[in-house]
């Protein structure tokens, strides 16, 4: 599976000079956890997350001062995304393997991975997108695998069984090359953890 198979497109992004309040409103309205930040030439320059936007935005409740809480420190409040965004940011291409993308996303501790074509952002893959793939049910996965295999080898040739994301494919003919292709096609279906093709029918 590749980034382009599950990415969200077109992209909702903000500019470096977008007010923090406006960026927060976009996240809240869309249900996102992060947004790519673009410069005036539409080049990716950062990521702004929920955590970036809420840090130091809440003054202490006056009632906490009555009970001896510390007073609010009088420091400048960030006004624009450029003041709070995370940069530099990791990005990947649409053909990136989803296994590599997931590892890079976790290693970089990013909420979303911008998908770029050259310098242009064409999509994003978020942790929620990845969780959505993991959560696909076996019946839906089996239907999608069968569809791909029918396109490749015709109808009524393949038996498909899926259990917790693991796909077993029974090939009624004895072509090892076709079984290799069938395995690759199945593993490109969102939600498939592993696939195996064998001669004969599935149990």
- Pair (120, 170) in one structural domain: no
Domain count, the chain: 2
- Pair (151, 109) in one structural domain: no
- Rounded to whole angstroms, what are the CA distances from 183 to 49, 63, 168, 173? 38, 63, 9, 15
Q: What is the pTM of this model?
A: 0.75
- Pair (148, 114) in one structural domain: no
pLDDT digits (tens, 9 = 90+) for 148-194: 999 998 888 899 999 999 999 998 887 889 999 999 999 999 999 99
- Pair (86, 185) in one structural domain: no
pLDDT for 131 equals 92
* Residues 6+ away with beta carbon under 8 Å from 21: none
- Pair (116, 65) in one structural domain: yes
Q: CB-based burial of residue 111 (10 Å sphere; 0-12 exposed, 13-18 middle, 19+ buried)?
A: buried
Q: Do residues 192 and 167 lie in contact, with contact meaning Cβ atoms separated by under 8 Å?
A: yes
Q: 162: domain range? A: 138-199
- Pair (168, 125) in one structural domain: no
pLDDT digits (tens, 9 = 90+) for 101-155: 999 988 888 888 999 998 889 999 998 899 999 999 999 999 999 999 999 988 8
Question: Is the pLDDT score of 70 beyond 60?
Answer: no
């Amino acid at each position: 599976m590749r980034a382009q198979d599950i990415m969200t497109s077109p992209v909702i992004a903000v500019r470096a000079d977008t007010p923090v309040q406006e960026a927060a409103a976009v996240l809240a309205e869309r249900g996102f956890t992060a947004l790519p930040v673009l410069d005036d030439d539409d080049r990716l320059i950062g990521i702004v997350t929920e955590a970036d936007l809420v840090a130091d935005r809440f003054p202490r409740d006056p009632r906490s001062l009555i009970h001896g809480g510390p007073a609010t420190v009088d420091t400048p409040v960030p006004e624009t995304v450029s003041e709070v965004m995370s940069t530099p940011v990791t990005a990947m291409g649409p053909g990136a393997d989803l296994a590599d993308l997931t590892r890079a996303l976790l290693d970089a501790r990013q909420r979303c991975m911008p998908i770029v074509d050259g310098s242009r952002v064409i999509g994003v893959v978020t942790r929620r997108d990845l969780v959505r793939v993991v959560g696909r049910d076996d019946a839906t996965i089996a239907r999608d695998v069968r569809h791909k295999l029918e396109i490749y080898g015709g109808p009524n040739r393949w038996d498909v069984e899926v259990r917790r994301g693991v796909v077993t494919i029974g090939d009624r003919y004895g072509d090892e090359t076709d079984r290799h292709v069938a395995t690759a096609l199945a593993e490109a279906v969102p939600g498939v953890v592993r696939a195996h093709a064998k001669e004969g029918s599935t149990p």
